[in-house]
């Protein structure tokens, strides 16, 4: 069984966000949370909150009570590009440079590993 969590319009560029997301893909939730806790990036806090939300969604979906975090794996994790805010920066000789403040959408899918015995 799997569950997912979305965080949209995160104020970080997708390129920076993917650096953090690549660290936790295909790892169990307990290990992923430990990695995120000690990752020195601002995006790690957002990914950590989303991962906890995905885990909680799975616990609620299964209706069996508690699930050990070692039994749950980050099956898919990806970052898509969100809308960009366009801003202008004054430049020499009456020109203006365009600045794009990028945003991103984060999707995490976690899966419960059931004992196949």
Residue 26: name the closest of 110, 100, 86, 117 by CA.
Answer: 110
Average pLDDT over residues 21-45: 96
What's the pLDDT score for residue 55? 95
Handedness of CA 7, 12, 15, 21 (dihedral sign): negative
Q: Which of the pair, 54 or 1, is modelled with greater confidence?
A: 54
Q: Class of the 2-112 domain? A: alpha beta
Average pLDDT over residues 102-114: 94
What's the pLDDT score for residue 115? 66
């Amino acid at each position: 069984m799997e569950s997912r969590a979305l965080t949209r319009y995160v104020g970080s560029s997708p390129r920076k966000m993917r650096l953090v997301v690549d660290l936790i893909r295909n790892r169990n939730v307990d290990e992923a949370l430990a990695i995120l806790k000690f990752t020195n990036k601002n995006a790690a806090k957002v990914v950590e909150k989303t991962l906890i939300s995905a885990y909680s969604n799975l616990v609620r979906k299964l209706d069996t009570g508690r699930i050990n975090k070692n039994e749950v794996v980050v099956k898919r994790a990806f970052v898509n590009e969100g809308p960009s805010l366009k801003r202008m920066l004054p430049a020499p000789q009456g020109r203006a440079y365009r600045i794009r403040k990028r945003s991103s959408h984060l999707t995490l899918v976690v899966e419960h590993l059931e004992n196949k015995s």
